[in-house]
A and B are shown apart, each in its own frame.
Chain A
Amino acid sequence: MWRDTVATGWFAIVMLACTSTGSAYEVIEVRNGGTITGSVALTGTPPPPRQFTVRKGAEVCGTNRVLTKVEAHHGMVRGVIVAIEGVEQGKPFPTYQAKAKGPGHGEFHYTGGNTMNLGVHLKTCSFGPFTGVMMADDIIRFVNHDSIKHILHTYALQGRNTKMLKTVHTRSLGAESQTEKVFPAKRLRHAHAVALTCDRHDFMENWLYLAHNPYYAISDETGHFSIDRVPPGDYVIVAWHPVLGMQEQHVTIASHGRLAANFEFTK
């Protein structure tokens, strides 16, 4: 009798463990969604662009490169991730491409749908725009279009004061090759962003915010952003930039409502 009880209990525990896959985002039709718009401003002087002398693969990368980490125009910041946390159901992930501003021409391709489906296309020694988004437990495809090798090195930004970069994965990407990688949520449980770097080229540095849903936007050249079809409710909205840091606001979205949320960073 006791053996049956133990076996049944063990079976139940195993089944529970197998079916508990966490709180995955679910795509549903959003009929009464609201919209959040806003802007991101910067007070103070942004850090100057960093200059690099290219030592490996200069025939592809160029002999000198510049890395602009904070791009601000008339006090407004480009490239800040604005994300709504805690949305578990809603619109599908968007389909779009984000291209680097140069001198490299890397691209982030988001196929979208039920998951983010990110593809990182390395071109002329660039992963893509300085900031972007990614999802844990989602397949990410890295495609090297260059005729030289890159060594992909990803770090999780974590720690109480976000002063720690922890290696998640490294991969040698041969000339014109590709690889796929899933970044497990377990490895990223203490992280809020992932740095993409190339061990061979120190000017290749990009940051992907760990989004959990498609309710995010990246501020444009005028510092503005817009997030639509947000299911009504109370949320925390986060603005994050790898250099400027993180800010949060608590917001309430009404049915078909429009809400303004502005952020201001100081440097």
Chain B
Amino acid sequence: MIRERKVDNRHFIPCLVLSISMLAMGSQAAQAALLDGMMDTVEEALAESLAEKNERLTTGNFYTDSSPNAHGPIGMMGEHTHEAGEVMFSYRLMHMWMHGTRHGTTRITNDEALDLGPYGVVPESMRMMMHMAGFMYGWNDTVTLSVMVPYILKSMNHRNRRHTAKFTTRSEGVGDIQLGSLWRLWAVEAPSLGAHRFHLNLSISVPTGNIQPTDSTPLRPDGQRLPYPMHLGSGTFDFYPGITYGGEKGQVSWGFQAIGTLRAGKNANGFSKGDAYQINIHGAYAIVPHWLSGSVRLSWHDWKKYNGADPDINMRVVQTGVPARLGGQRLDVLGGINVLLPEIMGIENRLAVEGGVPVYQYLDGQLETDSVVTFGWQGLY
């Protein structure tokens, strides 16, 4: 068998050039935000109308640490920026539980799932836990830099067609490390207008996660390469361009974020995960001002099927080993709580939790998601 090792660079070069150019531009940023000076006409018109109410228009204020809901729900990333010189450390613990197979929008039995192939083994459930250490730094008035290092633990429970064997496979290790940058675009605020802030997201992930985890199975007690959902990374450099909007007025805040995932070519094992995008819409209310807020979020995920295949993963054994079946869509509804704690040693502390369930899923014979819960701490200095 000849393994396909040809690398497809359709996204890699332009994305890398864009990233480097933007960072070079950011280091020389003379503006507080990228659109400074380009929105003068809009700002003047707003200021004129606000002047009739005896209000003053403020532009370029991205400060978001005064209330618990000034940060988005903890399940979101890159939804706020930092002032120049500010540093934030964070820790997130994410738990995802998947149980049962969905084909299209319909939940099917394990026996029906086995007949999709037909396959000899069916996954009954899967648990994914991720510890995520994060660091953000306000580089200058325009750019916030970030690093996120995930540590992932996955386990999948299976049974065979004849109900004669049940087994669990596990994978664990560091995932793909993400290096990010957030670019302040434009912000306006006034008492009657509220605050409206826009920024760009531009991140890249480094393929540090294992894409050939092994574990013992009844077929290969000495160790078998696990199928794609058990991988800890993509094996490719991935780019995450996006745009984020956040609004705030009184005790209410809201926001929108659209983030894409572009895979740069195929990895060393001859495949790439599909491109993807995610859209979040969220709202929050400060139940106890300056201390406690509650949030709701709608999160739409769309991910394409894999390109290529790992020749060491048998497509005939289990549905999770079929790359063409690994695309899907999902809409989650999530609720959360943010708590802004008093400062300790000059560090502002936030605790937050968010959990939710899918209300819509379209999968091609894969394990469906039942719940997602994220707990997190953020320490700002």
Contacts and interface: CB of A to CB of B under 8 A. Distances in A.
Interface in B272-319: 290
B63 A151 contact: yes
A170 interface: yes
Interface in A147-166: 148-149, 151, 153, 155, 159-161, 163-166
A214 B83 CA distance: 33
Contacts of A100: none
Given A169-B141, A171-B84, A172-B85, A164 B381 contact: no
A73 interface: no
A184 interface: yes
B215 interface: no
A149 B380 CA distance: 11
A161 B57 CA distance: 11
B86 A57 contact: no
B56 interface: yes
B263 to A, nearest CB: 36
Measured as residues with beta carbon below 8 angstroms from the partner, the interface class of chain A is: 20 to 34
B24 to A, nearest CB: 20
A57 B60 CA distance: 25
A170 B141 CA distance: 6
Nearest to B348: A56
A244 to B, nearest CB: 15
Nearest to A168: B32
Interface in A74-106: none
Contacts of A57: 343
Given A56-B343, A163-B55, A153 B61 contact: yes
Contacts of B86: 151, 172
A200 B340 CA distance: 14
Given A153-B63, A172-B138, A167 B85 contact: no
Nearest to A167: B60
Nearest to A198: B63
Contacts of A175: 346
Contacts of A257: none
Nearest to A59: B343
Interface in B28-55: 30, 32-33, 36, 43-44, 47-48, 50-51, 55
A163 B57 contact: yes
Contacts of B381: 149, 174
Contact of A199 (B55, B56, B83, B187): B83
A164 B59 contact: yes
Given A155-B58, A166-B43, A170-B141, 12 more contacts: A57-B343, A160-B48, A161-B48, A163-B48, A164-B56, A165-B58, A166-B60, A167-B32, A170-B84, A172-B82, A172-B87, A184-B30
8 closest pairs, A vs B, by CB? Answer: A167-B60, A172-B85, A199-B63, A163-B51, A167-B32, A170-B83, A172-B86, A164-B47
20 contacts: A56-B348, A57-B343, A151-B83, A159-B43, A163-B56, A164-B47, A165-B56, A167-B33, A167-B61, A167-B141, A169-B32, A169-B141, A170-B141, A171-B84, A172-B86, A172-B138, A174-B381, A175-B346, A186-B30, A200-B66
